[in-house]
A = this chain, B = another copy of it.
Amino acid sequence: MTDRRANRLEQALRDAGVRVTRQRSALLRVIAAAEDHPDAAELHARAVTAGAGVSLATVYRTLTTLQAQGVIDKLEFQGEPARWEAADQHHHDHMIDMDSGAVIEFTDERIERLQAEIAAEMGYDIVHHRLELYVRRR
């Protein structure tokens, strides 16, 4: 089922003239199956566990490629290695529970609208944004 999604992504890559190698295919599958936000080392470990022979260098190169294709998003939380998530979901921001480390996704249309408004007032268009709430259970 996540494989169906991975297959769709592979086709998109081929259509964009990007070669679908064994390694890229494996990584697409790992990313499509991930329900969390893994970093490069974790994705590498999962790919290897899944039986894919792939080097860490290739993982990094592939992540860059997939990001350029708009297939995945890069998350850079404070001081951690970068994490990644599939991009084919609806837009959302992140809330990080500082005690458990859990990452919670959320969206708020009002905030989105305000951001665009503020940028526009100053003569800018938003290319992308980053909103992270570092929180603690009350």
Chain B neighbourhood of A98, CB < 8 A: 127
Does A68 interact with chain B (Cβ within 8 Å)? no
Q: Please tell me if the beta carbons of B119 and A135 are within 8 angstroms of each other in the complex.
A: yes
CA distance A27 to B74 in the complex (A): 33
Q: Interface size on A (CB < 8 Å)?
A: 34
Chain A 4-20 per-residue mask, 1 if CB under 8 angstroms from chain B, else 0: 00000000000000000
Distance in Å from the Cβ of A84 to the closest Cβ of chain B?
Answer: 14
Closest partner residue, chain B, to A138 (CB atom): B125
A131 adjacent to chain B (CB < 8 Å): yes
Question: A95 and B76 in contact (CB under 8 A), knowing A125-B138, A127-B136, A136-B127?
Answer: no
- Cross-chain contact of A76 among B78, B123, B133 (Cβ < 8 A): B78
Q: Which of A35-43, A48-56, A102-110 is found at the contact surface with chain B?
A: A102-110
Q: Which residues of B contact A33 (CB under 8 A)?
A: none
Residue A1 CB within 8 A of the other chain: no
Q: A125 with B129: in contact, given A111-B114, A114-B111 (CB under 8 Å)?
A: no
Q: Which of B78, B95, B115, B130 contacts A111 (CB 8 A)?
A: B115
6 A-B interface contacts by CB (under 8 A): A76-B78, A95-B122, A106-B118, A111-B114, A119-B133, A130-B134
